[in-house]
Amino acid sequence: MVLNYDTLKLTLGVIATIGLYSVLYRENKFYRFWEHIFLGLAVGYAIVALWTETLKESWWDKMVGSVPTGGEAGNPGYWAYALLLPIGLMGYFVFSRKHNWISRVPIGIILGLWAGQQVQVWWNRYGPQISSSIRPLLPNTTSSFTVPYIQNPSSGQLEQLRAQVYPSQAISNIVFVFTLLSVIAYFLFSFEAKNRLVKSMSLSGRWLLMVGFGAIFGSTVMMRFSLLIDQMYFIWMEWLTHHILGR
């Protein structure tokens, strides 16, 4: 074993991994120590990322502009962006008991801008979902049960495939529309469902929601196992086998 910077770095990573996973046994000081280190690193990284990925590009560069260099044209600066600095600093008056009211000014501005954008935001989020829920239920071709596979299709062939509804797609669309209507029937709380059809659809929606939540929970568990397997590979292969045993 050769003790160098890479080995020391990987060893600290292994100790940190074991410390964070030790919470599975019970709450302990070893876990708390590495949790605080992780949170400190995360906060430090977030502060740097806030400047490099948000403030510098969206505020500072637009305020000061850029000088033409080489063949690239410069951008003019807009001094009005400087007004955002005192507005943002007003938010820190939340820590003052006497001048706490000043912190409500940027909150009011943000809420006003947010409220004005919500109509567009709502449509951008749910409009495509509404349009994609309108699907054809009957096939318009029987040349193939499933969508035929075409290697390196041309634009014309892609347009033709999109215009066709094959039987397999029609079956999937029927299942989708039935699930959609059943879930909507389950959430009809404005009136009492006395109709037998509505009751049956509501019950089906409840079961389908449970199936969907079960699939989401299962994928979440599998994601946790994937992270665990990746960390175990890091410990046993990258650290122990390659750096400690030197194989």
Q: Which of 203, 210, 196 is nearest to 181 (CA)?
A: 203
Residue 199: predicted pLDDT: 84
Q: Please report, to the nearest 10 degrees, the dihedral formed by the alpha carbons of residues 47, 50, 52, 54 taken in order.
A: -170
Distances from the Cα of 154 to the Cαs of 151, 161, 233, in angstroms? 9, 11, 43
Is 49's pLDDT higher than 90? yes
Residue 211 lies in a domain: no
Residue 141 lies in a domain: no
Residue 7 lies in a domain: yes
Question: Total domain count for the chain?
Answer: 2
Distances from the Cα of 63 to the Cαs of 59, 89, 96, 243, in angstroms? 6, 17, 30, 49
Is 71's pLDDT higher than 70? no
For residue 72, the cross-strand partners are: 69
Which of 66, 87, 102 is where one domain is finished?
66
Claim to verify: residue 30 and residue 61 sit in the same structural domain:
yes
Residue 218 lies in a domain: no
Residue 124 lies in a domain: yes
| Contact status, residue 106 vs residue 85, Cβ threshold 8 Å | no
Residue 97 lies in a domain: yes
Average pLDDT value for residue range 89-99: 89
Average pLDDT value for residue range 89-95: 89
For the purposes of burial, counting CB atoms within 10 Å of the CB of 205, is it exposed (0-12), middle (13-18) or buried (19 or more)?
buried
CA gap 216, 209 in Å, rounded:
10
Residue 46: predicted pLDDT: 94
Kindly indicate the confidence band of residue 73, based on its pLDDT and cuts at 50, 70 and 90: low
Q: Which of 13-17, 24-28, 39-43 has the highest mean pLDDT?
A: 39-43
CA gap 8, 143 in Å, rounded:
64
Average pLDDT value for residue range 155-173: 85
Structural domain boundaries, residue 24: 1-66
Average pLDDT value for residue range 58-76: 77
Residue 88 lies in a domain: yes
